[in-house]
Copies of this chain bind each other. A is one copy, B any other.
């Protein structure tokens, strides 16, 4: 049997044990995990420093090196992250009534873990602890396949978590780091339909596409964030300006930053000169169509098909639209099903926008930057789904579970 099949099989067997563990016990284990990470801070940093030095020698991109680094603060954040998960309610085992049939059968639904979750991610060793803890709390075994640059750090962290599992007489296979970064093994992992229930890739669009194209196991995708702010004719323009600046400039390299501004023609004359001034001050590069260029003489002029870029930088596309329907059409064509925002004081318009805009998070008078698990009250987040199957938007513990039917009778048979 191949290494990967063996790891996957062991994970599935381990998940079976975890599925019925009660919340109190899971929380004890998690608390011990947080403490183990704190107590072994120095050991983790030593392993990590060697890895960071190697990455620098290999001329890894600076942003990648930055993500790789574990220092005192980041390790404390990992431990605290696990403690946050202790505080979250356990979704597993919750039962709801689903009706009584005329023949007396009582139907309920019970929330259960998915089983085995596989995370495929790039060089962020902290995902090992975050995903390990989220999957554990939700009753799932997890197989972690991180970038090769962070493999030693990931193995060190997972080793600590596994020691805690052993201490509690739980199988180590509940948290597994694939110890070999070979791409062939990754493909094998993506084929394990009998043992792995879902793959959640986290990283750039290239990685997501690669996993989606090649996996035989179901994949939950986070493609990209092309988020728009639509400024309605009934907008409070001061609010609109705050939302624009916060969405575009508070942090740029993130998926919930604004990449597009749509402005109702009725307020363009009032709003856009202020926008030009404010964005110039923040050194934001502008892309506009012919019609909109009137307000932005120095901006890059694009064709309609040039909209929809994910800049991940101090750049934004701006468009004057005829009305809300025009804005919604723009979003339907160029949005990425991530987050869309309307700024308006008109409740009916807000409701229609929220109903119609095809995105996982649709906001009224709030910054797109709130579109993440912790800001929406999920606690910790395992990812954000931009496809609709299973989960849509920020995914918390509940997204790592499903429901089964419970049927209770007194011997009923079908006629």
> Which residues of A pack against B, CB within 8 Å?
16, 19-20, 93, 98-99, 101, 105, 107, 110, 112, 114-115, 193, 197-198, 212-213, 216, 218-220, 236, 238-239, 242-243, 245-246, 250, 332, 350, 354-356, 358-367, 369-371, 375-377, 387-394, 402-415
Would A411 and B239 count as touching, CB distance under 8 A?
yes
A101 with B375, Cβ < 8 A, contacts A388-B114, A392-B402 known: yes
21 contacts between A and B (CB under 8 A): A19-B356, A101-B376, A101-B377, A213-B216, A218-B218, A218-B219, A218-B387, A236-B411, A242-B411, A246-B414, A363-B407, A365-B412, A366-B407, A366-B408, A367-B409, A370-B412, A389-B389, A389-B390, A392-B402, A392-B404, A393-B405
Query: Which residues of B have CB within 8 Å of A239?
Result: 410-411
Which of B377, B389, B403 is the one whose CB lies under 8 Å from A197? B389
A218 with B362, Cβ < 8 A, contacts A243-B413, A413-B243, A413-B250 known: no
Would A354 and B392 count as touching, CB distance under 8 A?
no
Would B243 and A407 count as touching, CB distance under 8 A?
no
A366 with B411, Cβ < 8 A, contacts A361-B404, A405-B376 known: yes
Would B404 and A198 count as touching, CB distance under 8 A?
no
- The complex places the Cα of A371 from the Cα of B107 at a distance, in Å, of 11
Query: Which residues of B have CB within 8 Å of A213?
Result: 216
- The complex places the Cα of A219 from the Cα of B57 at a distance, in Å, of 44
A412 with B361, Cβ < 8 A, contacts A20-B356, A355-B110 known: no
Would B364 and A407 count as touching, CB distance under 8 A?
yes
Nearest 5 Cβ contacts at the A-B interface: A366-B409, A246-B413, A239-B411, A369-B414, A390-B390
- The complex places the Cα of A114 from the Cα of B213 at a distance, in Å, of 21
- The complex places the Cα of A198 from the Cα of B197 at a distance, in Å, of 17
Residue of A219, A236, A366, A394 most packed against chain B (CB within 10 A): A366
Would A392 and B403 count as touching, CB distance under 8 A?
yes
- The complex places the Cα of A193 from the Cα of B209 at a distance, in Å, of 11
Please, which residue of chain B has its CB at the minimum distance from the CB of A343? B411
- The complex places the Cα of A245 from the Cα of B413 at a distance, in Å, of 9
Query: Which residues of B have CB within 8 Å of A99?
Result: 377
Q: A403: shortest Cβ distance to chain B, in Å?
A: 6
A406 with B370, Cβ < 8 A, contacts A236-B411, A387-B197, A389-B114 known: no
Please, which residue of chain B has its CB at the minimum distance from the CB of A385? B402
- The complex places the Cα of A406 from the Cα of B347 at a distance, in Å, of 14
Would A20 and B387 count as touching, CB distance under 8 A?
no
